[in-house]
Amino acid sequence: MTVHTPTKDLLPRLQHSAAHAFTPLQREFNRLFDQLGEGWQAIAAFSMAPCMDAVETKHGLEITLELPGLSREDVTITVDGDMLIVSGDKKAHQVTKHRAYRVGERSYGEFSRSIHLPRSVDGGKIKATMADGVLKIVAPRRSDAETKTVPIEPA
């Protein structure tokens, strides 16, 4: 009677050939999840509120908003009490229903940003300029606004 002992090499060969068989599939899964990850980042970054910087200077408040693709006519600035409201509407340039987009990251629609103005700002003297898709708003200090230092007395 002949006893056949399996070679120890059989299992590693199966593992090796299985790994090679699934390598293209693994590569496709990796590519798919990488693309999905990029898509989720685009969705997370999607925002209809424009990016803004607000800097306090010795003359007042300077507010800068990024509004690429918009003109002055597309933007409205209103002051309501102590709120500065920048709003507008970014319209799509071409509307084509039967297009097969490979990438679509541009956003369109209405937007609004509200900024609480400090009491030291004179809302009636706010000025705005716009160039190259950047809106700059200058809100000057009131002439009667003063900074007061309060001394600390011993208890």
Sign of the four-CA dihedral 123, 126, 128, 134: negative
> Phi and psi for 13 in degrees, rounded to 5?
-65, -40
pLDDT (tens digit per residue) in 81-138: 889 999 998 877 665 666 776 776 677 788 899 999 988 899 899 999 999 999 999 9
State pTM to two decimals. 0.60
Does 75 lie in the same domain as 41? no
CA distance 111 to 104: 19
CA 143 to chain CA centroid, Å, is 36
Query: Is residue 154 in a domain?
Result: no
Does 42 lie in the same domain as 56? no
- Domain holding 109, by residue range, is 52-140
Instruction: State the number of CA atoms in the 13 A half-sphere of 144 facing the CB.
Output: 1
